Structure 1
Amino acid sequence: MTMMPLEKREITNSRLVYGCMGLGGEWNGDQLTKEDYITAQKAVEAALENNITMFDHADIYKHGRSETVFGRLLKEDPGLREKIVLQSKCGIRFSEGEVPNRYDFSEKHILSSVDGILERLETDYLDILLLHRPDPLMEPEEVASAFSKLRESGKVKHFGVSNMNAAQIKLLQAYCDEPLIVNQLEMSLNRLDWVEHGVLVNQKEGASVNFSDGIIEHCRLENIQLQAWAPLAYGLYSGRDSKNPTEAIMATKKAVNELAEKKGTSAEAIVLGWLMRHPAKVQPVIGTVNPGRIKNCAEAVKQAEIMTREEWYTLYTASRGKKMP
């Protein structure tokens, strides 16, 4: 894992984020195996070799095993921690007995979650902590208190959210002294509502688009980094077979592959490059553990830079399945 040290920690400077959900074996597993460790080591090495230095976790991924196996890698290479950006999430709680799955933004839960995250990652601090999904019982004063204590103790340097709309962010920010610097949303060439909501202003069909009004613009105005989870649409256009694909899916896959062949690159690079071409400078969070696919994804940085407006709209129109209004 040969890398140059980070002279200045630009927290959200990485164009790509490596999502660690795939590390730690199977979801229904109960302990880590040697193979799980080897898989994690190869994936992290591939990310670093391709200049991906930001890593995204969550306390629930593989019931904590994703963080645990990553922590072992950090322990074996003590110098690595200061060369990467570590981000994790909390707030989702799985069912326990008769208690259902729920969300928990209470101060007590946030503080205890961070302690568990740090223990599993074998580190003293997180660069960024995200609240995973909106808790309808959120008391912003409690969140603000938790954030303040975490910042003062040095356990967390920066804070953000995931899957929140503009109004929810504004409410939370009104109580928090710490700026919210990240919002992670599902965004991809197949999940278009984040684009459609703006395109379909003053259009009847816009009423059917289920996306928060103004969230993209709010994040851009407030310097909140937009991150995209599932940016490859679970491989829909880059290798995964789809049962009963729609005409739009088939047309998009064809357009992606033709552009990839024309550019001498991978389908993954085109799909991610399309997302990154947007002026919001979206950070895709990739989740593959395959070193070859990680390399393919890294090529998206260049493809985003050279993708023309016409190429972007060709892919967009193919995916939406109809002409622009």
Structure 2
Amino acid sequence: MESALSHRRFGSSDLMVSPLGLGTVKLGRDKGVKYPKDFTIPDDKAAADLIALARDLGINLIDTAPAYGRSEERLGKLLQGQRQDWVICSKVGEEFNNDSGDSHFDFSHRHTRQSIERSLDRLKTDYIDIVLIHSDGRDEHIIQHEGALEALQQCKQEGLIRAIGMSTKTVSGGLLAAELSDAVMVAYNPAHQEESPVLDYCARHGKAAILKKALGSGHLISEQDPAQAAMHFALSHPGVTSAIVGTINPEHLRENAEACQRALLQT
């Protein structure tokens, strides 16, 4: 039995999350994704086994989005009977067309509300722990001139969401999102350190920070252990709450958890 990962507070909320989260884009979408190798979306048995392994490893943060194809609706079935074991993070703003493989964006108040209600239905839950705006790169414009953030705030007040934030693509947008919400999701790895000021801000102000592309979407290369090096790099920053790693390979998941455990012991 593997040593389970300990959990940490998610910013100033009462949520407790694992330092490693499971990304689920590969459970629902295989078009228009930027991975170095092709993959086959796993069937329900393989997906259920992967989720069971993640839970055994102490992982309780699971990341999904409407833009991840059928990920949300699959999780709604796969997590039945174990909702209390998981902190679910979903998103609003980006819509993905499974037939064409194209995305489009809508950050209006109305669409954001509709998206949340649809996610609640797909996930078969009456609340979502964390909801992030899925930015198209116009971070500041979306926050200041669209209705998504206000809709998230309203849904949080109604108890439909427990924490809100934004998955950003710019430093200025990340800083603004961290200031105005509970959490921010940024890209950060040894080959991409440009967004470290956002993590610095989160560390100083007690905001939650989730990492995307902590392993470079599988593109990081090293003569030694790229996963271990990247995990140590990611978790050594005091502003980082959790790193999301998307995998459908049980052995890779176990290796990532072990790398995470070793990295935590070294920080």
TM-score with structure 1 setting the length: 0.66
1:87 aligns with 89
The one of 301, 306, 311 equivalent to 2:260 is: 301
1:158 aligns with 163
CA 1:286 to 1:185, structure 2 compared with 1: closer, same or farther past 3 Å?
Answer: same
Looking at structure 2, the residues matched to 172 and 279 of structure 1 have their Cα atoms a distance apart, in angstroms, of: 18
Amino acid at match of 1:223: G
Report if the CA contact (8 A) 1:47-1:53 is conserved.
Answer: yes
Amino acid at match of 1:121: L
CA 1:52 to 1:94, structure 2 compared with 1: closer, same or farther past 3 Å?
Answer: closer
CA deviations over 1:41-63 (Å, ceiling 9, x no partner) = 1211111010000111111102x
Looking at structure 2, the residues matched to 280 and 294 of structure 1 have their Cα atoms a distance apart, in angstroms, of: 23
CA deviations over 1:211-247 (Å, ceiling 9, x no partner) = xxx323222222222221121123335xxxxxxxxxx
Is 1:21 paired with 2:25?
yes
Looking at structure 1, the residues matched to 175 and 232 of structure 2 have their Cα atoms a distance apart, in angstroms, of: 30
CA 1:159 to 1:140, structure 2 compared with 1: closer, same or farther past 3 Å?
Answer: farther
CA 1:236 to 1:155, structure 2 compared with 1: closer, same or farther past 3 Å?
Answer: same
SS of 1:123's partner is coil
1:126-137 residue pairs with structure 2 within 5 A? 126-133=128-135, 134-135=137-138, 136=141
CA 1:101 to 1:52, structure 2 compared with 1: closer, same or farther past 3 Å?
Answer: closer
1:113 aligns with 115
CA 1:292 to 1:154, structure 2 compared with 1: closer, same or farther past 3 Å?
Answer: same
**Sequence identity of aligned pairs in percent?**
25
Looking at structure 1, the residues matched to 110 and 29 of structure 2 have their Cα atoms a distance apart, in angstroms, of: 29
Is 1:45 paired with 2:46?
no
Shift of 1:142: 2.8
CA 1:149 to 1:193, structure 2 compared with 1: closer, same or farther past 3 Å?
Answer: closer
* Stretch of structure 1 that moved more, 106-115 or 155-164: 155-164
SS of 1:299's partner is helix
CA 1:169 to 1:193, structure 2 compared with 1: closer, same or farther past 3 Å?
Answer: closer
Looking at structure 2, the residues matched to 112 and 162 of structure 1 have their Cα atoms a distance apart, in angstroms, of: 19
Amino acid at match of 1:68: E
1:50-61 residue pairs with structure 2 within 5 A? 50-61=57-68
1:277 aligns with 236
TM-score with structure 2 setting the length: 0.79
CA 1:147 to 1:192, structure 2 compared with 1: closer, same or farther past 3 Å?
Answer: closer
Shift of 1:170: 5.9
Amino acid at match of 2:161: V
Amino acid at match of 2:26: G
CA deviations over 1:17-51 (Å, ceiling 9, x no partner) = 111111136338xxxx9952122112111110100
Shift of 1:146: 1.1
User: Which one has a larger percent strand, Structure 1 or Structure 2?
Assistant: 2
Shift of 1:169: 5.3
CA RMSD of aligned residues (A): 3.2
CA deviations over 1:109-149 (Å, ceiling 9, x no partner) = 11000011111111111001000115435545733531233
Q: Which has the larger radius of gyration?
A: 1
SS of 1:129's partner is strand
Looking at structure 2, the residues matched to 140 and 282 of structure 1 have their Cα atoms a distance apart, in angstroms, of: 29
Looking at structure 1, the residues matched to 178 and 57 of structure 2 have their Cα atoms a distance apart, in angstroms, of: 35
Q: Which has the higher contact order (CA 8 A, sep 6+)?
A: 2
1:75-224 residue pairs with structure 2 within 5 A? 75=80, 78=81, 80-94=82-96, 101-133=103-135, 134-135=137-138, 136=141, 138-139=143-144, 142-165=147-170, 167-168=172-173, 180-194=181-195, 214-224=197-207
Report if the CA contact (8 A) 1:24-1:37 is conserved.
Answer: no
Structure 2 spans left out of the alignment, 5+ residues: 33-39
Report if the CA contact (8 A) 1:106-1:138 is conserved.
Answer: no
Report if the CA contact (8 A) 1:40-1:70 is conserved.
Answer: no
Shift of 1:94: 4.5
User: Which one has a larger percent helix, Structure 1 or Structure 2?
Assistant: 1
